Amino acid sequence: MGIFELFRLDGGVALITGGGGGLGSAIARAFAEAGADVAVNGRSPAPLERVREDIERLGRRCAIVPGDVSDRAVAPRVVADTIARLGKLTILVNNVGGIAGDDKPLPAMELSEESWDAQIDLNLNSVWRLTKAAVPVMSDGGVILNMSSIKAFQPAGGSGAYAAAKAALNNLTVALSRDLAPRIRVNGIAPGPVPTEAFMDKRGVTEADFPRVAREWGVPLERLGRPEDIAATALFLASPAGSWITGQTVIVAGGM
């Protein structure tokens, strides 16, 4: 097998939560380009439909499996729908996450109980629930990818609940990798600042602010990330190219 063939996902089926957002949609397109069929999950139908159209233009199948995976009843249905429509599940990308319960990051002492719980539930509990639903029906040799954050390693003001949840997710990734080896590999990705639509809306920034934001975040490579930077890492970890890697969370943050 040639080296580039190691990055192929031919015959694979991936389920990606938050599949209509900037990172999720980029990962979905990358996996389709590499030969996988893809199920995309999210709460808003319009972005998922755009991703489906892109994937089908690449000649791959795409299933939209809507639902809020932070809802306890949704995870089993999303997994079952994926298998019913695409035949199997070989890759799970727990991508959904973010600042939940408030319009913007707030200091930990200003968070309400409801906001704290919402952030832990979205960024940690939903991953455990969906993974628990998926593992029994995943193919041997399967892969799970958990989307962490640079904030798990470098917490900043206003990120208390989010950073705590992502740090816990890193440890869950390691624990799951031990529990599920050798049948399923489990890894994580910790992006730095990537100006997705959600990132920009939460922080009130525009493209003109990108150089300033990169300086403020202390990014040594002096630019913000691109969704493709994260998608390329996800493809590496999900493909045979990463077949001897498990229990790791890879920081993709321009040197942060």
Q: Which residues are catalytic?
A: 162
Q: What is the pLDDT of residue 101?
A: 59
Q: Name residue 113's amino acid.
A: E
Give me the average pLDDT of each 10-residue run along the chain (256 residues): 95 97 97 98 95 98 95 95 98 90 75 90 96 97 98 90 96 98 98 86 82 93 97 98 98 98
Q: What does residue 230 show for φ and ψ, rounded to 5 degrees? A: -75, -40
pLDDT of residue 220: 97
Structural contact between residues 192 and 254, judged by C-beta atoms closer than 8 angstroms: yes
Q: What H or E segment, with its residue span, contains residue 3?
A: none
**pLDDT value, residue 205:** 83
Determine contact, residues 14/82, Cβ cutoff 8 Å: no
Please state the three-class secondary structure of 202-250 as a single string: HHCCCHHHHHHHHHHHCCCCCCCCCHHHHHHHHHHHHCHHHCCCCCCEE
- 3-193+227-252 maps to which CATH number? 3.40.50.720
The Cα diameter of the chain in Å comes to 55
Rounded CA-CA distance 67/17 in Å is 9
